[in-house]
Structure 1
Amino acid sequence: MTQITEQSARAVSGASAQAPAAARTAPAAKSRDAFFDNAKYLAIVLVAVAHAWEPLRSGSRAVSAVYIVVYTFHMPAFIIISGHFSRNFDFRPDRVRRLITGIAVPYIVFEVAYSLFHRWTTDDSDMPISLIDPWYLTWFLLALFIWRMTAPIWRLVRWPLPLALAIAALATTSPQIGNDLDLQRILQFLPFFVLGMVLKREHFLLVRRRAVRIIAVPVFALALVFAYWAVTRMNMAWFFHRDSAEELGVPWWTGVLMTFALFGCSLVLTACFFAWVPGRRLWVTALGAGTLCGYLLHGFVVQSAGTWGWYDPAWMHRPVGAVVVSVAAAVLVTLLCTPPFQRIFRFALEPEMAWAFKKDPAKQAPGERAAKSS
């Protein structure tokens, strides 16, 4: 009887010890929304595929049309999600620390890495390493750092989205901005970040209704038809949001009109994209946490493909080549988002850097705080 009692006591003790652990892990497991992770994964696949299409655009009007449609919404979708998860950002020490280790440090590491990689693959020893002139994919990290720093402002002002649109429109009229910090992109994409901040969870649920899913199909079809028509009639640089109107050879007021027109088109296609994003957990859902890894690493392969002649075979510029390239890019970025790659590159993407920061007073033991105060 005594033995049974002792076993029961140990069982109760073990259960009580495991309960807090379960309580700690349960919220963490539930904190990630499957819809957003699925959306991030699908968006990063489209980013990689669109980058892989770039060498094929000159020889195929169809590829160029699909490229335009994808470029209209894939980065806006990603930026809207980033803004939505930045809506509570403030300058609390732990959040500033995550901003530095999760965005600023990866920007510095990959800006240097991409510059050195470009020097090596192109024998361009004069390629400068500049932290104020982002190279290739790194512009997004710099933009996200600046956007998130401004998050408290957008929570404060009365009409955040109209203000952000006005800033974006004014940016297109200002060729003097130049390339420093890639400010044109930062300012022209700003409305999507602010939109993500003001959107609530129920707004995302609205676009995922059955009626919206049905409407999304003809909308995408019409977008493809229009894009096919526009390939030979429109400057595709508008979809990159990196140049002013004057730099694109048109009057300043064209930039203002294009800001609102492109924002409207991007918003419609992004809503159609979100409408078809699954809301349940799938095998790709876990990859949503590794999209930054996939985003930053796939660029090295894309750059290598163009430099080392992977697109030289004639069949690569036929429909079968576009299909092969699309599948290869999707598989590649999927692999790069997996946990093994996240662990390998954690030193660059999520460094702890405890040595670089003061200890948070709120996390210090009472005795340690008392010793410091004395």
Structure 2
Amino acid sequence: MQRLAFFDNAKVFFIFLVVFGHLIQPMQGDLISVDALYQWIYIFHIPGFVLMSGYFAKGRSDQSFLVKMMKKLLLPFLLFQVLYSIVPILINTDPWYVALYKPHWSLWFLLSLFCWHLLLIAFKHLSPIKGLMIAFSIGLGIGLVPFIGHEFSISRTFVFFPFFLMGYWMDQTLITYLKEMKFKVVAVLILTILFVVSLVMPVIPDELLFGSASYSAMGIESIGIIARLSLYALAILMVFSVLTLIPTKNYQITAMGPYTLYVYLLHGVIIQFVRELGLLRMNENLDVLALAIIAGAIVMFLSSRYVLIFTQPIIEMNTVWAQKWLKTRSQQQMNYRNHQST
């Protein structure tokens, strides 16, 4: 139970950072605290979320599993790609434009996740060290391809695949080892120092943090590999520092862990409306706390039972939650009638 609680707590924390990061993204350059937080979060939150996905990967390669992955990942990608194209039209009367080869906003993750499962078919047969060395080498080398970019999420697929593979090979023994108090102290120091560095030098290009562009497109051809290698090192250091501090007990939020994909897919619709309508503004550094509370509320709302009931047919292509709800309602009505008759 502790093992399950730990990983669900970690998934909830990382999805909170995804939502929070997207909330503060338009406000970069306005406040020092936002610039520092944004860089600090984006160094590790995508790698952490990918690592969690790798941990829960099955790694099967039979036809039924691949068909299941297509239904679970590619169909929602197509549906939400259209949905994200509709939102700007409803708000700003922008022209209709859907480019399936260029994922909207956060939808790149679905394409990449499907590709990571495919890559895992080959990489799971390699030793962990050999596989990770190859994966990191490809992640570094893909930036040398001048035309690599957002299309089909190819760049991000290879840039973040090492973290997926790392999660696949990770076991509870490592987590138990990291839970020793001496590592917790070190983890707090690492995260604090890197936040202070981000506060003083929020200079890492967004495209480098996103893993979505070539070195030439970012104008760092001469230092691209070194820059990405340094970012890899920082990300690994911060991800495992965060995991060291994640609690292993069950809390109310722990139950939201299995439904982070719902939050990931649906939060974009909310934030797009918020951005387009200009509903959120920050005037001082403490306003960041208000946005953190809003991000937490979004995560809780999108993990709620009623959201799951109405969106599961789209996201998972089944109605398990609706059937449970109808069964519960039917039982309650039957109990009520029995009570009235007595």
Q: Provide TM-score, normalisation by structure 1.
A: 0.80
Aligned-residue offset at 1:198: 2.0
**Alignment match, 2:122:** 153
Q: Could you tell which deviates more after superposition, 234-243 or 288-297? A: 234-243
Q: 1:133 aligns with which of 89, 92, 102?
A: 102
Q: Could you tell which deviates more after superposition, 90-99 or 277-286? A: 90-99
**Alignment match, 1:334:** 300
**Alignment match, 1:104:** 74
**Alignment match, 2:216:** 246
In the alignment, is residue 304 of structure 1 matched against residue 273 of structure 2?
yes
Offset from partner CA, 1:59-115 (integer Å, 9 cap, x none): 1122111111111111111101111111x3222344223312221221111111111
Report which of the two structures shows the higher radius of gyration computed on alpha carbons. 1
Q: 2:154 aligns with which of 160, 183, 186?
A: 183
**1:101, 1:352 within 8 Å by CA — same for their partners in 2?**
no
**Alignment match, 1:90:** 60
Question: Aligned-residue CA RMSD in angstroms?
Answer: 1.9
In the alignment, is residue 169 of structure 1 matched against residue 135 of structure 2?
no
The number of aligned residues is 317
Matched position secondary structure for 1:319: coil
Give me the whole-angstrom Cα distance separating, in 2, the residues matched to 1:338 and 1:212. 35
Q: 1:221 aligns with which of 192, 199, 217?
A: 192
Unpaired runs of 5+ in structure 1? 1-29, 354-374
Aligned-residue offset at 1:117: 1.5
**2:149, 2:212 within 8 Å by CA — same for their partners in 1?**
no
Aligned-residue offset at 1:31: 11
**Alignment match, 2:249:** 280
**Alignment match, 2:326:** none
Unpaired runs of 5+ in structure 2? 320-342
Q: 2:177 aligns with which of 206, 211, 214?
A: 206
**1:83, 1:197 within 8 Å by CA — same for their partners in 2?**
yes
**1:104, 1:142 within 8 Å by CA — same for their partners in 2?**
yes
The one-letter amino acid of 1:76's match is: P
Moved over 6 A (4+): none
* CA 278–220 in structure 1, closer or farther in 2 if over 3 Å, else same: same
Aligned-residue offset at 1:32: 7.8
Matched position secondary structure for 2:246: coil
Offset from partner CA, 1:106-147 (integer Å, 9 cap, x none): 111111111122332232214x21222101010001110111
**1:132, 1:181 within 8 Å by CA — same for their partners in 2?**
yes
**1:290, 1:339 within 8 Å by CA — same for their partners in 2?**
no
**Alignment match, 1:237:** 207
Give me the whole-angstrom Cα distance separating, in 1, the residues matched to 2:196 and 2:171. 33
**Alignment match, 1:292:** 261
Q: 1:325 aligns with which of 284, 288, 291?
A: 291
The one-letter amino acid of 1:129's match is: V
* CA 237–93 in structure 1, closer or farther in 2 if over 3 Å, else same: closer
Aligned-residue offset at 1:51: 0.8
**Alignment match, 2:34:** 63
